Structure 1
């Protein structure tokens, strides 16, 4: 009885085919299913972090440029140029006027020891998400930073 059973099992194994290489196929399939979302998550987090670094650098540079300018006319242009340069250095091409908000504690803005606050807001596009999904899923992540700078006490031309 055992001999007949052994032959039956051997015949069944031959009919099913060889199992060699099955683990490799399963491993590759499972790796693709698990690693692709993980790689996408790393790419998305990298893009959002790049946006956070960009707005932080832009806000800090714009506040320093604004308070270091000699006149109010030059201060707006200096802040705009600083935001544009900082964002383009990080790979974001946007209009600096659309993402920058400057507010002053004193009037006039460049009076000695006045605090100038610059807020930069940027919507970071998620990579690989088509715009068609805008109504269903978020396709952008908003990041913003604010920096406050103080106008020097000894401003040239101030009384």
Structure 2
């Protein structure tokens, strides 16, 4: 891999054209600061309308019927499925994921890489992006894969039992 710095951002229920990088009539200053040194993928699609199977597809490159998570309540991936986070860690990258709702990844093979978006507070609805910016700057010279998941852009549906 020629590039040694990767940042994946997932914003639940957010359209790509709702960012200032894709729509100049909107202002998303913190997102712009966060992503200024990274490329933006504008052509993508989700494989499932739910967070768990969709993210598992993102991390495996597989459809839900191939990795085993068909909905929010499916707990485990099929055995032997490789995931992106582990593959990067095995290749010597510093890998971490931060989420406003890290429990959404509970029981999945890549759960060990996930933590809260703002580790300093209990209520992640109030999470600050500043600790994440500091983390990205601190590891600026190390090969890295960082994943950020913003959950609270949509309402309080789904995963109430998780």
TM range (shorter): under 0.3
TM-score, normalization by structure 1: 0.23
Q: Pick 1 or 2: higher relative contact order, CA cutoff 8 A, min separation 6.
A: 2
The structure richer in helix per residue is 1
TM-score, normalization by structure 2: 0.22
